[in-house]
Amino acid sequence: MAYADTVIQQNLSFSVKHGEIFIIMGGSGCGKSTLLRHLIGLMEPAAGEILINDINIWDTTVDERIQMISRTGVLYQSGALFSSMTLGENIALPLSEHTSLVSSEIEKIASYKLSLVGLAGFEDYYPSEISGGMRKRAGLARAMALDPDILFVDEPSAGLDPISAKLLDRLILELRESLGTTIVMVTHELESIFSVGDTAIFLDTDEKTMIASGPPKQLLTESTDPRVRNFLTRSA
């Protein structure tokens, strides 16, 4: 991964298994969110391949790539809701853009998705009328609107109080259990890493590559790399 001649990360090699919660972790500025942008097809790697179901997403036609990416959902750090739209309209937007459903069906699905994240009855609220934690949950509902095979989540706990962050982690686990969705999460929050992560990779800023991979709790007890141990045992 590179911006012009500046290499951000290199020699990355990992696989995400169906139905798991996969954590991308590391210190600030190591390239976690940049990696996520590559995985969701917003940035093309300077070298190497990104495979979804064994198909290189950058070795396809534009239409084929759009079709592949439409099977994924993304929850951005801010929730990225449209402020001029109600929550119901926000969730309805991808449905109206990518399906042939009639408006009454779209409204029912939007209400159902909001109920999945604990926001039943909030269809007519605007993002400015709800709390930050509720906006994150609404963003999650929109990311799940098209029943994606893979859900990408960027720093879901950023800006949330500890209680709201725990509720969001619990919600992500419930969605994985109930819908079987594969989840790729960028986070530096230890609570999230240990409570929801099945597998993790650690990106190092200095070496510009991944220096550890495995279940987070196993990395905590078995890693001998001081950078990994310091990250996983820090107090904040």
Mean pLDDT of the chain: 91
236 pLDDT band, cuts 50/70/90, is: low
Cα torsion through 38, 39, 41, 43, rounded to 10: 0
DSSP 9: -
| CATH number for the domain harbouring residue 180 | 3.40.50.300
Boundary of a domain, candidates 129, 146, 163: 146
Looking at the structure, do residues 130 and 168 belong to the same domain, yes or no?
Answer: no
Domain boundary among 125, 146, 167: 146
- As a dihedral over the C-alpha atoms of residue 181, residue 186, residue 188, residue 192, rounded to 10 degrees, the angle is -10
Q: Is residue 76 part of a domain?
A: no
Are residues 134 and 171 located together in one domain of the fold?
Answer: no
**Which of 20, 16, 19, 33 lies closest to 203 in space, CA to CA?**
33
Mean pLDDT for the stretch of residues 46-65: 91
- Looking at the structure, tell me whether residues 130 and 213 fall in a common domain: no
pLDDT at 86: 95
Please compute the mean of the pLDDT values over residues 33-54 and round it to a whole number.
Answer: 93
When pLDDT is averaged across residues 188-196 and rounded to a whole number, the result is: 92
How far apart, in Å, are the Cα atoms of 62 and each of 86, 207, 222?
Answer: 31, 34, 44
The answer to whether residue 77 is domain-embedded is no
Same domain, 166 and 58: yes
Residue type, 141: A
66 plus 168 within the same structural domain: yes
**Are residues 123 and 8 part of one domain?**
no
Q: Please check whether residues 137 and 152 belong to one and the same domain.
A: no
pLDDT digits (tens, 9 = 90+) for 133-191: 889 889 989 998 888 999 999 988 877 788 888 888 988 898 888 888 999 999 988 99
Q: Are residues 118 and 161 in the same domain?
A: no
Range of the domain at 125: 82-146
pLDDT for the residue numbered 79:
66
Check whether residue 60 and residue 1 sit in a common domain. Answer: yes
Segment 110-126, tens digit of pLDDT: 999 999 888 999 999 99
pLDDT at 80: 79
The verdict on 157 and 66 lying in the same domain is yes
Residue 216 has pLDDT above 70, yes or no: yes
Note the pLDDT of residue 178.
Answer: 85
Q: Are residues 185 and 141 in the same domain?
A: no
Q: How many domains, the chain?
A: 2
Kindly state the percentage of the chain with pLDDT values over 70: 98
